[in-house]
Amino acid sequence: MALNRQSMMSALLVTLCLGSALGVIYSSHVCREFYAALQELEAQRWASQEQYSRLLLEHSTLASPHRVLGLAEDQLQMHAPNVESTRVVTR
Amino acid sequence: MSRRPSSAPKFAAWRFWVVSLLLLTLCSLLIGRLVLIQAIDKDHGSEFLKKQGAMRAVRLAEIPAYRGLITDRRGEPLAVSTPVVSLWANPAHLTDSGRLDELAAALNISVGDLRKRLALYGDKQFMYLARHQTPDQARRVLDLKIAGVRSEREYRRFYPAGEVVSQVIGLTNVDGQGIAGLEKAFDEWLLGHPGKKRYLKDLHGDAVRDIGVVTEARPGKELALSIDLRLQYLQHRELQRAMVETGAEAGAAVTIDAWTGEILAMTNHPVFNPNSRAGFDYAATRNRVVTDAFEPGSTIKPLTLVAALESGKFTIDTLIDTSPGRIRVGRKVLPDPSNYGEISVSRIIEKSSQVGVTKIAQAIGHEPVLDVYRRFGLGVSSGIGFPGERAGIVPNRERWSDIEKVTLAFGYGLTATPLQIAHAYTVFANKGLRIPLTLLKRSPEQTVDGERVVSEATASEVLTVLGRVTGEHGTAKRARVDGFSVGGKTGTVHKVGAGGYIDDQYLALFVGIAPMDNPRYVTAIVVDQPKGDAYGGGAAAAPIYSRITNGVLRLRNAVPAIEAPTETRLVALGGGQ
């Protein structure tokens, strides 16, 4: 009987050991997956920053006061209002 | 003699024991070695071995951190860190590569140059092929997949506003450290602290997997300036235009919101493009508003007026006889442009009469004048902490000759920067309070404690006189702004050369306050060496002031004094704050 109990015990231990081994395999797999996701996100962040700086460059070129002023004056024939064409509205 | 082996081999006990002993010895040797490595030997034990293993496979990589954003007061970006890629190579691996032609073509350099550089760094493990490439450029090279060519992510500073605000913002070097202007002054604040991560590499040096982050990357902090990009651009444009019109060598302008002490715009000529280091002129990186101190000349007379009023000997209406239009002090004769006769103290400032100011100076002595200069912050740096800022000189000597006592009162024999002069004028706009200047945005709730420099009554009297300078009898009619009353003071200063004052080279100055009914914006203009007849402060600098102030008042929503219309018309409104 003692032998039987012993073998049951060792069977249990072997099972636990195997289970933990499988657990390690699983968790390292998950870890790898997460790491892949992290790298994906970091790449995305980098790409977004790249795009941001490209857009910023475009924005600063298109919206530079120099260009806006030129467009307003030349194409749209606009000008800053002089005193004669200004009226003050009091609330 | 040979014995035939028996059919049933006999158990030889000694053999068994020998083999057992052998195996046992080997086993205990192994165990002993294990114990030695794991527990006993400290120098060549497990730690040492782990380290050796790590040295072969584990590497630390830098996680780049971006430098803080610099914006204007309305959030417009002025300096941005943008991602770039630096290409590097291990020269030892690359020298024998058969694809150098391809690589050189992709890098836009000649094969000869590339070979020369590879030979130069032949004994090194690392050399840059090209730094700070745009990601697209770098991709073109990396897509060739040439063995030994690697990339590294970095950040480069980009300045969206370009030359408009270049001297104020300053520059960073290729490693992202501030080397000029605000980039230098606030380097600690803006600096990003790169993090570190650990990774495993394979034989080729490629990262196999990350082990973990050692230190997180800490990006730099944002900096919001007091500069308003719209005003800055306006000032920049008017200054450049004036440089062309007057043929001047250089110029500077600064606009301050006197109520808050914030510097709204600060421009210089010549300018440089901070986004391109090709054909770089270091002289153009100077922010003349704070780095160039010169004799302020007549622009300092309002401070002399303060001393005169405080002495109790004069009011602004006291009459002084300035005939015959010149006065002898020691061996020198100081002339006025014409004989003004008997005029009031106010008119002396309006006309900028040397004779009148000389008589005032002789009556009150030089000490009160010096005292006022010091109280208004001359000779002391402004406290904005701008790199290379000059404090100017207010002389402090034992003996004063008669002529020195007098010239001090009209702005010679001392030096000040445009910023200091403008700051001094803010006192008149603030009813006698001197509020510390800043280049950083102050929140509306933030209260700034001013220091009382002169009494409210004196400040208001000086303000009245300054308002008359742009009037009918004044020297600065051309500083007027439609719809607003403005005040200020002109100055025309001989430039100092190797042999003293240069006869035909001038600095034209104007410092103005607007609007007079609710004084708030102080602008100082410096035109260095205007050509032709229009070299004076009233002719060269005042028109620039007028155009700049016109824009400042419009953009800051100041209400023009205009008569109520009889008919209904469209209303033109300026932008917000």
Tens of pLDDT along A41-74?
A: 988 988 898 888 888 888 888 888 888 989 999 9
The band of B438, judged by pLDDT with boundaries at 50, 70 and 90, is very high
- CA closest to A46 among chain B residues: B83
Please give the Cα distance from B265 to B519 (Å, whole number).
17
Using the predicted structure, report yes or no on whether residue B377 has a pLDDT greater than 70: yes
The interface predicted TM-score (ipTM) is 0.72
Residue B391 forms part of a structural domain: yes
B452 CB-near residues (< 8 Å, 6+ apart): B432, B433, B434
Q: What tens digit of pLDDT does each residue of B276-319 get? A: 877 777 888 889 999 999 999 999 999 999 999 999 999 999 99
Please give the Cα distance from B358 to B329 (Å, whole number).
9
**Does B403 share its domain with B512?**
yes
Within 8 A of A32 by CB-CB distance, chain B residues are 209
DSSP state letters, B197-241: EEEEE-TTS-EEEEEEEEE--BPPPPEEBS--HHHHHHHHHHHHH
User: Looking at residue B370, what is its pLDDT?
Assistant: 93
From A46's Cα to the closest Cα of chain B, the distance in A is: 7
Within 8 A of A69 by CB-CB distance, chain B residues are 237
Using the predicted structure, report yes or no on whether residue A11 has a pLDDT greater than 60: yes
Q: Do A88 and B562 make contact, defined as CB atoms within 8 angstroms?
A: yes
Record the tokens describing residue B425, joined without a space. Answer: 């004028």
Range of the domain at B348: 229-275+287-555
Which residues from B are below 8 Å from A when comparing CB atoms? 66, 77, 80, 82-83, 135, 153, 158, 160-162, 164, 209-210, 229-230, 233-234, 237, 482-483, 551, 554, 559-560, 562, 565, 569-572
User: Looking at residue B164, what is its pLDDT?
Assistant: 92
More confident residue, B461 or B444: B461
Q: Do A87 and B80 make contact, defined as CB atoms within 8 angstroms?
A: no
How many domains, chain B? Answer: 2
User: Looking at residue B280, what is its pLDDT?
Assistant: 75
Please state the rounded mean pLDDT for residues B415-431.
Answer: 94
User: Looking at residue B575, what is its pLDDT?
Assistant: 45
Boundaries of every domain in chain A: 2-81
pTM for the model stands at: 0.82
User: Looking at residue A82, what is its pLDDT?
Assistant: 81
Average pLDDT over all residues of chain A: 87
Cβ-based burial of B249 (10 A; exposed 0-12, middle 13-18, buried ≥19): middle
**Does B270 share its domain with B400?**
yes
Q: Which H or E run includes B496?
A: strand B487-497
User: Looking at residue B566, what is its pLDDT?
Assistant: 54
Using the predicted structure, report yes or no on whether residue B569 has a pLDDT greater than 50: no
The percent of residues in chain B predicted with pLDDT above 70, rounded, is: 95
Looking at the DSSP assignment, which residues form a beta bridge with residue B60? B198
Within 8 A of B80 by CB-CB distance, chain A residues are 53, 56
Residue B518 forms part of a structural domain: yes
Residue B576 forms part of a structural domain: no
User: Looking at residue B356, what is its pLDDT?
Assistant: 93
Please give the Cα distance from B319 to B300 (Å, whole number).
21
**Does B185 share its domain with B235?**
no
More confident residue, A31 or B263: B263
Please state the rounded mean pLDDT for residues B232-248.
Answer: 93
User: Looking at residue A50, what is its pLDDT?
Assistant: 84
Q: Do B571 and A87 make contact, defined as CB atoms within 8 angstroms?
A: yes
More confident residue, B338 or A3: B338
User: Looking at residue B565, what is its pLDDT?
Assistant: 53
The band of B4, judged by pLDDT with boundaries at 50, 70 and 90, is low
Using the predicted structure, report yes or no on whether residue B365 has a pLDDT greater than 70: yes
Residue B457 forms part of a structural domain: yes
Within 8 A of A35 by CB-CB distance, chain B residues are 209-210
**Does B173 share its domain with B235?**
no
User: Which amino acid is located at B114 in the chain?
Assistant: L
Q: Do B571 and A64 make contact, defined as CB atoms within 8 angstroms?
A: no
Nearest to B565 among A50, A57, A87 (CB): A87
Q: Do B572 and A50 make contact, defined as CB atoms within 8 angstroms?
A: no
Q: Do A56 and B77 make contact, defined as CB atoms within 8 angstroms?
A: yes
Q: What is the CATH number of the domain that holds B342?
A: 3.40.710.10
Nearest to B137 by CA among A52, A48, A50, A55: A50
CB atoms within 10 A of CB A57: 16
User: Looking at residue B345, what is its pLDDT?
Assistant: 93
Q: What is the CATH number of the domain that holds B164?
A: 3.90.1310.10
User: Looking at residue B494, what is its pLDDT?
Assistant: 87
User: Looking at residue B568, what is its pLDDT?
Assistant: 47
Q: What tens digit of pLDDT does each residue of B462-488 get? A: 999 999 999 888 888 899 998 899 999
Which residues from A are below 8 Å from B when comparing CB atoms? 32, 35, 38-39, 46, 49-50, 52-53, 56-57, 59-60, 64-66, 69, 80-83, 85-89
Record the tokens describing residue B521, joined without a space. Answer: 């914006």
Indicate the angle between helix axes B229-246 and B542-555, nearest 10 degrees.
160
Last residue of a domain, one of B163, B189, B215: B189
**Does B313 share its domain with B178?**
no
Secondary structure of A24-62 as H, E, C letters: HHHHHHHHHHHHHHHHHHHHHHHHHHHHHHHHHHHHHHH
Nearest to A49 among B83, B482, B565 (CB): B83
Using the predicted structure, report yes or no on whether residue B3 has a pLDDT greater than 60: no
**Does B245 share its domain with B182?**
no
Last residue of a domain, one of B122, B157, B189: B189
The CA-atom distances, in angstroms, between A2 and each of A6, A7, A12, B26 are 6, 9, 15, 35
Please state the rounded mean pLDDT for residues B446-459.
Answer: 90
**Does B244 share its domain with B165?**
no
Average pLDDT over all residues of chain B: 87
Please give the Cα distance from B242 to B240 (Å, whole number).
5
How many Cβ pairs within 8 Å bridge chains A and B?
A: 69
User: Which amino acid is located at B367 in the chain?
Assistant: E
User: Looking at residue B358, what is its pLDDT?
Assistant: 93
CB atoms within 10 A of CB B285: 21
Q: What tens digit of pLDDT does each residue of B189-210 get? A: 999 898 898 888 877 767 777 7
Within 8 A of A57 by CB-CB distance, chain B residues are 82, 158, 160
Catalytic residue ranges of B: 298
Residue B165 forms part of a structural domain: yes
The band of B6, judged by pLDDT with boundaries at 50, 70 and 90, is low
Looking at the DSSP assignment, which residues form a beta bridge with residue B193? B218
The band of B261, judged by pLDDT with boundaries at 50, 70 and 90, is very high
Using the predicted structure, report yes or no on whether residue B570 has a pLDDT greater than 80: no
- CA closest to A89 among chain B residues: B571
Optimal mutation site among A41, A87, A89, A90, interface B, most CBs of chain B within 10 A: A87
Q: Which of A21-25, B25-29, B357-361, B532-536 has the lowest mean pLDDT?
A: B532-536
Please give the Cα distance from B295 to B287 (Å, whole number).
18
The band of B509, judged by pLDDT with boundaries at 50, 70 and 90, is very high
**Does B261 share its domain with B353?**
yes
User: Looking at residue B426, what is its pLDDT?
Assistant: 95
**Does B163 share its domain with B291?**
no
Using the predicted structure, report yes or no on whether residue A35 has a pLDDT greater than 70: yes
Using the predicted structure, report yes or no on whether residue B5 has a pLDDT greater than 70: no
